[in-house]
Chains A and B, each alone.
Chain A
Amino acid sequence: AQKITQTQPGMFVQEKEAVTLDCTYDTSDPSYGLFWYKQPSSGEMIFLIYQGSYDQQNATEGRYSLNFQKARKSANLVISASQLGDSAMYFCAMRGTSGSRLTFGEGTQLTVNP
């Protein structure tokens, strides 16, 4: 079974500062992928970044980077230079080798203050 844990129900950050959103996972699959999604108040799900378990380098996409620590089973999302538009719910998710299904965490509500 796969499990994703996001321990921060809510986070606050000042505009232009960096913020880290935590995600830990549990799986027995030898190969897996980790995803982050953003859900603004309008409700749509927006894909942000992907990390494969065998990728040598941490994934980066613009202001988003993934701090992947395989031994600790963590895949934290780092947002640099926060913007007001980053205020949203953020979900960590994982897919293992046992199927195509994606398992989501409970989410972290990020608020960026001016």
Chain B
Amino acid sequence: DAKTTQPPSMDCAEGRAANLPCNHSTISGNEYVYWYRQIHSQGPQYIIHGLKNNETNEMASLIITEDRKSSTLILPHATLRDTAVYYCIVRSTVGSSNTGKLIFGQGTTLQVKP
């Protein structure tokens, strides 16, 4: 699986959008971009994933560049409860199945401040 690069930490004001970047310059054509977060003392929580199109769900939006070498996770209105470590992971697929393991990097610690 390709490696990802994320800033170690970021701050965001409560109510503002949090934009978390991720570089995955060696991503290959069959690899998806996944985002998870881990709130202190809890197990990781799935946020969103995508291949090449931008994706949006009730939690966040995922913007993937056209060359797929980087992506941005957007939390549109960050709250204090969004303070967590955010992990960007790329994983491979073959046909209709996820075959790649979830390999976690160090992630970005997002601190939402009042």
Q: State yes or no: do A and B come from one complex.
A: no
Interface residues of B (CB under 8 A from A): none
